[in-house]
Chains A and B, each alone.
Chain A
Amino acid sequence: SQTIHQWPATLVQPVGSPLSLECTVEGTSNPNLYWYRQAAGRGLQLLFYSVGIGQISSEVPQNLSASRPQDRQFILSSKKLLLSDSGFYLCAWEDYLAGGNEQFFGPGTRLTVL
Chain B
Amino acid sequence: SQQGEEDPQALSIQEGENATMNCSYKTSINNLQWYRQNSGRGLVHLILIRSNEREKHSGRLRVTLDTSKKSSSLLITASRAADTASYFCATDFGGFKTIFGAGTRLFVKA
Contacts and interface: CB of A to CB of B under 8 A. Distances in A.
Chain A bound to chain B? yes
Interface of A: 32, 36, 41-44, 46, 49, 51, 57, 59, 88, 90, 92, 94, 96, 100-108, 110
B33 A102 contact: yes
Contact of A105 (B44, B48, B101, B102): B44
B54 interface: no
B43 A110 contact: no
Interface residues of B, number: 23
A49 B96 contact: yes
A87 B37 CA distance: 15
Interface string B31-50: 10100000011111100100
Contacts of A51: 96
Contacts of B100: 36, 43-44, 46
A108 B48 CA distance: 23
Contacts of A92: 42-43
A43 B35 CA distance: 11
B98 interface: yes
A36 B90 CA distance: 13
Mostly, the B contact residues are strand
Contact of B45 (A32, A103, A110): A103
Contacts of A36: 100
Contacts of B92: 101
A43 B88 contact: yes
B43 A43 contact: no
8 tightest Cβ-Cβ pairs between the two chains A and B: A105-B42, A43-B102, A44-B100, A105-B43, A102-B45, A101-B92, A43-B100, A107-B42
Contacts of B48: 100-102
B12 interface: no
A46 B101 CA distance: 11
Contacts of B30: 101
A107 B41 contact: yes
Given A51-B96, A108-B41, 10 more contacts: A42-B102, A43-B3, A44-B100, A46-B99, A88-B40, A101-B33, A103-B98, A105-B42, A107-B41, A107-B42
